[in-house]
Amino acid sequence: MKLYDKKRFEKHADLFEALAEYDRTGKLPKLSYKKRIDVTIDAAILRKVKEYCKKNNIKVSNLIENKLKIL
């Protein structure tokens, strides 16, 4: 196994950047940040989504994130 593998570095560039930041500052940064957004949707749809989330014990934001990850 090589000490330096370009494919692994490219695949995990965000992790290597976090480690470099730790070396510079002594603090490990978050690997992912969340942003708050405003979205306008139909009230009836929102009601159904909230009911679904409550029934399945999940957060609305997690449902949206999981659905958007497949894009």
- Hey, what amino acid is at 20? A
pTM above 0.95, yes or no: no
Q: Which helix (H) or strand (E) holds 17?
A: helix 13-25
Q: Where in the chain are the domains?
A: 1-33, 35-71
The CATH code belonging to domain 35-71 is: 1.10.1220
* Per-residue model confidence as pLDDT tens digits over 23-70: 999 888 877 778 889 999 999 999 999 999 999 999 999 999 999 988
| CA distances from residue 65 to 10, 34, 38, 57, 59 in whole angstroms, order as listed | 24, 10, 14, 15, 10
Mind giving me the DSSP string for 46-63?
HHHHHHHHHHHT--HHHH
CA distance 46 to 40: 10
